[in-house]
Amino acid sequence: MSDLAVEVRGLVKRYGDVEAVRGIDLDVSARETFGFLGPNGAGKSTTISMLCTLVTPDDGTARVAGHDVVAQRNDVRRNIGLVFQEPTLDGYLTAEQNLRFHAELYGVPKALVPARMQLVLEMVGLWERRGSLVSTYSGGMKRRLEIARGLLHAPRVLFLDEPTVGLDPQTRASIWSYIETLKQQEDITIFLTTHYMDEAEHCDRIAIIDQGRIIALDTPEALKASVGKDRVQLQVDDAGAAIEALGERFGLEATIAEGHVTVAVSGGEAFVPRLFAELGVPIRGVSVARPSLDDVFMSYTGTTIRDAEAGRQDPMLAMMRGRR
């Protein structure tokens, strides 16, 4: 058996006339952290649902942990952990009871359950609260408990569908620190989806998905390098003069973004001394930023994630409208 954790060939899913996933090929190695990045409605969740055996593909094949997601559904299920976007906890049970239920459902050997439970609950910082009813938990605590539960049966592949969506920045950061710990402590492959650019940087490799297709797949560094240019922002008193001067002296097209004059330059640091020497317009401050995945997404799709989401409907919604 190969040591590929996820192996996808030509995967397709249609909802009525809408092709939500239009032929995806993908390999994820064991112990890799792989991110699926794209706007809402790009096909991320549909793909993950197919990999988790919840949705049957219309075409193509997918193997997870060495098992076919259609023919060997139960074998796939034994080997994966899932954390969904929506909560799937029983609020009327305590955290501990939720985990016990899960352990039994997955057949975790009885002797291992207490140690395993303590390990995962401590990892997400909920060990002290294990006796509380889940309905008394905050949103962030619930998400952490879901992650703990997804790990309880030591899955070979952990799927995290938008693990931090709807959480405050502090909780998001703490969830990422658990995921980082997890990568080091467990022999596990993590497959996650996100539409936050900054979160995608935690991944070993990223696939950028848009309109049901993978449009780029590489390490975050390589993707950013492919964009090549740094973002240089200038604080000036006379923005108009600065933009004009940038055009005349350097042949650069500057815009105003976030209230600052902004230009994209390759080798941003080296550009700064020339800027001061040659611009001829007083500069109060300069910042240089490496290209972010936001820039990457933009360079591949010509639009930002935010604009892509605003301009496009969810395929499910589109389908429902089409039916009316």
Partner 1 sequence: MTSTSTAPVGAAPVAAPPGAPVRVVVPPGGIRADLRGIKVVWQRELIRFWRDKLRIVTSLVQPLIFLFVLGGGLSRLASGGTQGVDLRTFMYPGALAMAVLFTAMFSAASVVWDREYGFLREMLVAPVRRGAIVLGKCLGGATVAAFQGLLVMALAPLVHVPYSAVLVLEVLALQLLLAFMITAFGVMCAARITQMQAFMALMQMLVMPLLFLSGALFPLSGLPRWLEVLNRLDPLTYAVNPIRSAVFDRIDLTTAARAALLPGITWFGWHVPIAVQVVVVIGCSLAMLSVAIMEFRSA
Q: Which of 59, 92, 248, 253 is close enough to bind partner 1 by CB under 8 A?
A: 92
- Burial label for 169, CB within 10 Å (0-12, 13-18, 19+), is exposed
Name the residue with tokens 């988790």: 52
Nearest residue (CB) to partner 1, 139 versus 280? 139
Q: Which of 58, 87, 125, 262 is close enough to bind partner 1 by CB under 8 A?
A: 87
Does residue 98 contact residue 112 with C-beta atoms inside 8 Å?
no
**Nearest distance in Å: CB 194, partner 1:** 18
The count of residues in the chain is: 324
Site for partner 1 in 98-117 (CB under 8 A): 101-102, 104-109, 112, 115-116
Q: CA-to-CA distance for 215 and 224, rounded, in angstroms?
A: 14
**Nearest distance in Å: CB 280, partner 1:** 44
Q: β-strand 59-64 against 4-15: which pairing, if any? A: antiparallel
Contact segment (CB under 8 A) with partner 1 among 9-17, 78-86, 250-258, 292-300 equals: 78-86
Does position 295 interact with partner 1 (CB under 8 A)? The reply is: no
**Nearest distance in Å: CB 170, partner 1:** 24
Q: How many C-beta atoms lie closer than 10 Å to residue 23's C-beta?
A: 15
The residue type of 197 is M
Name the residue with tokens 């699926």: 36
Site for partner 1 in 214-233 (CB under 8 A): 219
Within the chain, what is the greatest distance between any pair of CA atoms? 75
Contacts to partner 1 by CB under 8 A: 3, 27, 29-33, 52-54, 74-75, 77-79, 82, 84, 86-93, 97, 101-102, 104-109, 112, 115-116, 118-119, 153-154, 183-185, 187, 204-205, 219
